[in-house]
Structure 1
Amino acid sequence: MKKFFVLLVLFALPIIAYMFFASGQNNFAKLPVLTEGVNDVSEFEDFEGKSISLEDKISIVAFFGENLDDLKGNTFNLDQKILEKYYEFDDFQFLVVLPEDTRQQAENFKNEFSGISETEKWKFVFGPPEAIAATFKSFNTPHKLQGTYTPYVFIIDKDLNLRGRDDDEDFEKVYGYDSRSVAELSDKMNDDVKVILAEYRLALKKNNADRKNN
């Protein structure tokens, strides 16, 4: 019975993984690059005064401004519809960029959510408003910051490129995803995160196969 169970798991897991990634609308196509070479966030500091980089990670980046109490709904939507599905991936991170004077708010906010989410996997970095504005500007999107806040969140790949859609049926181009909209997160963003994760995993498999053949 144990042997049968092990064989079943070994056989079923690859199929489940394939179906998970293949369920995306883009179905293994590369997620389009909309902006190349965005600014890294390594100049900012986290709670411990350390720097965090976007390089070599698939990052969901949020600019959630000064009043974090107003953003509980946005973050809850994002966590439930996107983040909790992908926390297990080592090369995936959720990064919130905030102004310096929100450190205590952010810590309270993170602690409050710790009972219903894996907040230890959220990363917060802090910097002056002008540096935040410069980072956001480098994304080169049609969206605007309201101070240091936007409800839109962005997918940045390992090479510091902003990914999104260039032929969306509703908006034509999708640079960011509205964290206030459960439908947009569930449909468009979830689909696109699947695609970019599948893209990197296929590339890794190909590289490993090439090394073995060589």
Structure 2
Amino acid sequence: MKNKIVLISLFILPIAIYLVFSTASHNSLFLPTISKNNQDIPLNWTSLSGSKESMKGKITVLGFVGDKVIENRGNFFNLNQKIYNKYKGFKDFQMVMVVPSGNEKKCQQIIDELAPITGDMKGWRFVFAAPQEIQAFYDSFKLMGQLDESKGTPAVIIVDKELNHRGRNGKNKKGDQEYKESYNTISAADLHNEMTDDIKIILREYRLALKKNNNERKDVFRDNIKQNIEKQKNQ
């Protein structure tokens, strides 16, 4: 039985991954970088789990929730259904929501509401800090948008494994100039059509880079074998 499960996984998983990557309709193989080497989650910020959170080494959807956690639960639902559910199987993917301290119970309520329809919620991360710290962290990305009085915004951004802010900056498929630094969680269409597409591109980037690195290691290994054989012949 275990052998059958392994065989099925070997056949189905590559097909599933291929379908995820191949359906991206963006005109570019690589998603443009909006800003580089951004600040990581500060070490003194707390989380629901008590662990120290980081965006380094992860593809992160970063959001700023503000105090109106329950009032904006629809935004969480949109993100969960349109983005998280599609990519939660990738271990390097996560959602990080920045929230003013004192809203821990409200955020746990959101987790509890989403869990029955989602299952694995490990990729959802909430971090808490003082309002002035949140404002400084947001400002460090130099975004065109602004936080509201509760230190929240319906917009989320994509941060890659190297802490680079990614988005759209260049010509789209129609040849028109396009700039997109964030995605509106109020709009299910924005998440479904544009953000889904852009995350696929980033995942494909890392997949291609991993494949290239593996091929390079194989080439080095093969060359070393050839060199050793030649040395033995010449001895």
TM superposition score normalised by structure 2: 0.82
- Shift in CA distance, 40/70, structure 1 to aligned 2, threshold 3 Å: same
Within 2, Cα distance between the matches of 1:8 and 1:35?
A: 41
Paired residue total: 212
- Shift in CA distance, 125/187, structure 1 to aligned 2, threshold 3 Å: same
Within 1, Cα distance between the matches of 2:133 and 2:84?
A: 26
> How far 1:46 sits from its partner (Å)?
0.8
Within a 5 Å distance, the mapping from 1:160-179 to structure 2 comes to: 160-167=163-170, 168=172, 172-179=178-185
Equivalent of residue 121 in structure 2, options 116, 119, 122? 119
Indicate if the aligned counterparts of 1:60 and 1:156 stay in contact, CA closer than 8 A: yes
Within 2, Cα distance between the matches of 1:166 and 1:27?
A: 12
Aligned-pair identity (%)? 39
- Larger mean CA deviation between 145-154 and 15-24 belongs to 15-24
Within a 5 Å distance, the mapping from 1:122-137 to structure 2 comes to: 122-137=124-139
| Corresponding letter in the other structure for 2:33 | V
Q: What is residue 201 of structure 1 aligned with on the other side?
A: 207
Indicate if the aligned counterparts of 1:22 and 1:28 stay in contact, CA closer than 8 A: no
> How far 1:27 sits from its partner (Å)?
6.1
Does 1:154 pair with 2:160? no
| Corresponding letter in the other structure for 2:206 | Y
Q: What is residue 38 of structure 1 aligned with on the other side?
A: 38
Within a 5 Å distance, the mapping from 1:1-214 to structure 2 comes to: 14-26=14-26, 29-43=29-43, 44-117=45-118, 118-147=120-149, 148-167=151-170, 168=172, 172-214=178-220
Within 1, Cα distance between the matches of 2:42 and 2:132?
A: 15
Within 2, Cα distance between the matches of 1:59 and 1:66?
A: 21
Is the partner of 2:116 in helix, strand or coil?
A: coil
Indicate if the aligned counterparts of 2:93 and 2:123 stay in contact, CA closer than 8 A: no
TM superposition score normalised by structure 1: 0.89
- Shift in CA distance, 9/135, structure 1 to aligned 2, threshold 3 Å: closer
* Uncovered stretches (5+) of structure 1, i.e. residues with no partner: 1-5
- Shift in CA distance, 104/15, structure 1 to aligned 2, threshold 3 Å: closer
Q: Deviations over 1:97-154 (max 9, x none)?
A: 1111111211222222221223343111111111111111112111110031000011
- Larger mean CA deviation between 24-33 and 59-68 belongs to 24-33
Q: Max radius of gyration: which structure?
A: 2
Is the partner of 1:116 in helix, strand or coil?
A: helix
